[in-house]
Amino acid sequence: MGYEAESSGVSVVMPAYNAAATIARAIESVLVQTYPTLELIIVNDCSSDGTGLVIESYAHRDSRIQVFCNKEKQGVSASRNRGVREARYSWIAFLDSDDYWLPDKLEAQMQVIAADGACGLCFTASSFINAAGRRSAYILHAPRRVTYRQLLSQNVISCSSVLVRRSDLLAEPMVCSPMIHEDYASWLALLKKYPYASGVDRPLLVYQVSTGSRSGNKLRAARMQWNTYQRCDLPRLASCAHFLTYLLRSVRKYCAIWRQMQPQPEAAL
């Protein structure tokens, strides 16, 4: 299979804050990718645990890893934006430090992009584990294509699954606000530019669900969803309609994830 010049490589951006327990798994899932042209940019957002030591141990062993440390805690959006600015390749993939990929994740997405020149945003299906490593049988499937209007009713694009043009993220960085879904707002903005996002319907992302995260607090997540609609200047009536659909689908999704958790821990990557 022939790939384009170096500029078509992938820069993987990984923000990290107090992720000593999970970041090694995330890093290793990047380093074993079958897609050959990549770099891993880790932005350490003032971690106070052993995250920095884990990162440095990998950086000393693999020259594809670039490490940047924020002088003050900036938050996940600003850390992602910094990683995008530091990137050398034309495609950006995000991976949170508690999630991980299957080995052919990037290769599968680059194949989709090579086949569709109109594709500016590509994502994959997701499977789920909890903090104890238990795997859910539930899969969040990826439609072959999703439009702006379809995305308003349910965000099927997990941030750790995306592949997006660096130029688009430089032109419109993620918003740094704790009370909106910053990644969701970015995908909606991009789908005003592109006719659709392309999905790879294989669970190439393993996403760790946590009741302690911003998205894990469902009341707060609902407020963030509403605020995201307002930031996108969605009319109030349309916001209400999409918000009701979001609530129904969100409840159904998370009930399915937790109900289908398997009793045995996920095997080590």
- CA neighbor of 64 nearest in space, from 14, 101, 12, 29: 12
pLDDT at position 263 over 80: no
**CB distance 245 to 234 below 8 Å:** no
- DSSP lists the bridge partners of residue 18 as none
Tokens read off for 91: 């495609």
Q: How far apart (Å, rounded) are the C-alpha atoms in residues 122 and 187?
A: 10
- DSSP lists the bridge partners of residue 10 as 38, 91
Helix-, strand-, coil-residue percentages of the chain, each rounded to 5:
40, 25, 40
pLDDT at position 163 over 80: yes
Helix (H/G/I), strand (E/B), else coil: 83: helix
Q: What is the mean pLDDT of residues 34-44?
A: 97
Q: How far apart (Å, rounded) are the C-alpha atoms in residues 133 and 165?
A: 32
| Average pLDDT, rounded, for the chain | 90
pTM comes to: 0.88
Residue 168, CA distances (Å) to 79, 90, 91, 121, 237 in order: 17, 10, 10, 10, 30
For 205-252, what is each residue's pLDDT tens digit? Answer: 999 997 655 555 778 888 888 888 888 888 888 888 888 888 887 888
Q: How far apart (Å, rounded) are the C-alpha atoms in residues 221 and 83?
A: 25
Instruction: Outline where 60-210 has alpha helix (H).
Output: 76-86, 105-115, 148-153, 166-171, 182-190
pLDDT at position 36 over 50: yes
For 65-83, what is each residue's pLDDT tens digit? Answer: 999 999 999 999 999 999 9
